């Protein structure tokens, strides 16, 4: 058996852990309210804090205590169960069935009014079983986040059941088991939520067809390059790439083949650029490349390399060989100008390449004119 001082210490540690997770996850949810999993994890922590806080007062009176503390303790336990269920379902991006949701709403008045302890225990047990079933089902479907949640949930339930058995004098377990269970659970679920959020953020910046960045991802990453160029003498170049007569490929061979051609070209580009280069699908069959620390000569050399590589690409549709070519427009960043101007100049260069016969690389440079607005020259 643990001495009272050690028990008080563990109660304090538990309260601190619950308070930290409650405050941190609630703050994250406040800034991103669409991430409901953070709200439910905060609710789990708050409910556990309520159980922890009221249990101290109940234990201080040898298991008796004021009815208010007993009621709050039961409400906290019910809150933990309901929040766990909602958390698991929110991570699976689904909602509980109506019957289960009705039982959740029924649990609170039964707990507050203490009408039927047996009914409360039955509902709590049922909700826990549904929570476990949903976590197991999601994990069995290959959801890595669900496996982490299931592990944390299993550890938490084992620790809580062990603590209940200790209270009933069936076993003898350390007093820190509930706190340990919640710590493991909070860490597991926090990792799952963060991983889920990271994948969502990545998906929001990635073109699903080619695997390249999309326009949003490109603009976000390019801000750092522009900032560095503004603070130093370093520059960068932009290449705008467009497939020649790509509509003919879609019209003659179908959009599935057009998608395949885009994917193969994206693979060629990924192999051809450096790790520090920013490559993105700008829209339709247009692709943009930002080349840090690269001037006109380096950008032109890469542009010619890309153009010739795609020109040699052979894609087959049955017995028919599909040949595609690229037109490329290049511009170099002029210190002080908006990135949109550099991109527009590359787009103008691309238009010139299209007008000059396609399957070629054109470069447009910046020069100050008498109006101060800048001019485009070849």
- C-alpha 219/C-alpha 215 separation (Å) is 6
Which pLDDT does position 3 carry in this prediction?
Answer: 57
What six digits make up the tokens of 65? 């205590």
pLDDT of residue 202: 83
Contact 282, 218 (CB under 8 A): yes
CA distance 310 to 292: 23
What is the pLDDT tens value at each position of the chain, 378 positions in all? 455 666 667 777 778 888 998 999 999 899 888 888 899 999 999 998 888 888 777 776 655 556 787 788 888 888 888 998 998 888 888 889 999 989 888 887 888 776 677 788 888 889 989 988 988 888 888 777 778 888 888 888 888 888 778 777 787 777 777 788 888 888 888 888 888 888 888 888 999 999 999 999 999 999 999 999 888 878 899 999 999 999 888 888 898 999 999 999 999 999 999 999 999 999 889 999 999 999 999 999 999 999 999 988 878 777 787 889 999 999 999 988 999 999 999 999 999 999 999 999 999 987 633 333 334 433
CATH 1.20.1070.10 positions along the chain are: 4-204
Terminal CA-CA length for the chain: 86
192, 87 in Cβ contact below 8 A? Answer: no
Residues carrying CATH 3.30.70.270, the chain: 215-377
pTM: 0.65
- With 0-12 CB in 10 A as exposed, 13-18 as middle and 19+ as buried, what is 37? buried
For residue 317, the SS3 value is strand
In 222-336 the beta strands, taken as DSSP E runs, fall at 236-243, 278-283, 286-292, 315-317, 320-322, 326-332
Number of residues that this document lists for the chain? 378
| Token code pair at residue 256 | 């599935």
DSSP state for residue 176 in the 8-state scheme: T
Q: What is the pLDDT of residue 206?
A: 93
Q: Say which CATH topology domain 215-377 has.
A: Alpha-Beta Plaits (3.30.70)
Q: What was the pLDDT predicted at 378?
A: 36
Rounded to whole angstroms, the Cα distance separating 193 from 209 reads 26
Q: How far apart are CA 199 and CA 187, in angstroms?
A: 18
Query: What's the CATH fold of domain 4-204?
Result: Rhopdopsin 7-helix transmembrane proteins (1.20.1070)
Enter the tokens of residue 12: 């304090």
């Amino acid at each position: 058996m643990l001495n009272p001082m050690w028990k008080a210490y563990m109660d304090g540690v538990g309260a601190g852990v619950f308070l930290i997770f409650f405050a941190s996850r609630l703050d994250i949810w406040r800034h991103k309210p669409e991430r409901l999993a953070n709200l439910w994890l905060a609710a789990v922590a708050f409910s556990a804090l309520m159980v922890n806080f009221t249990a101290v007062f109940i234990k201080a009176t040898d298991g008796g205590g004021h009815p208010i503390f007993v009621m709050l303790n039961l409400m906290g336990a019910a809150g933990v169960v309901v929040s766990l269920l909602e958390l698991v379902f929110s991570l699976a991006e689904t909602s509980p069935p109506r019957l289960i949701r009705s039982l959740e709403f029924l649990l609170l008045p039964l707990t507050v009014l203490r009408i039927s302890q047996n009914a409360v225990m039955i509902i709590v047990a049922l909700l826990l079983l549904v929570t476990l079933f949903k976590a197991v089902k999601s994990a069995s479907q290959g959801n890595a986040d669900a496996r982490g949640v299931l592990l944390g949930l299993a550890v938490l339930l084992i620790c809580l059941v062990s603590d209940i058995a200790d209270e009933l004098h069936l076993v003898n377990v350390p007093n820190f088991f509930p706190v340990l269970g919640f710590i493991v659970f909070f860490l597991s679920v926090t990792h799952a939520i963060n991983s889920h959020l990271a994948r969502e953020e990545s998906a929001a910046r990635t073109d699903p067809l080619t695997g390249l960045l999309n326009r949003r991802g490109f603009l976000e990453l390019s801000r750092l390059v522009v900032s560095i160029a503004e603070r130093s003498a370093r520059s960068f170049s932009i290449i705008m790439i467009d497939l020649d007569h790509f509509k003919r490929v879609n019209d003659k061979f179908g959009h599935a083949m057009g998608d395949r051609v885009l994917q193969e070209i994206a693979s060629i580009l990924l192999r051809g650029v450096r790790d520090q280069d920013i490559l993105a699908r700008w829209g339709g069959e247009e692709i943009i490349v930002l080349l840090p620390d690269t001037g006109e000569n380096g950008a032109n050399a890469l542009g010619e390399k890309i153009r010739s590589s795609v020109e040699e690409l052979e894609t087959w549709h049955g017995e028919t060989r599909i040949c595609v070519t690229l037109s490329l427009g290049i511009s170099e960043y002029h210190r002080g100008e908006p990135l949109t101007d550099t991109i527009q100049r590359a787009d103008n260069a691309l238009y010139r390449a299209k007008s000059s016969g396609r399957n070629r690389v054109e470069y447009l440079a910046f020069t100050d004119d008498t109006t101060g607005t800048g001019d485009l020259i070849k």
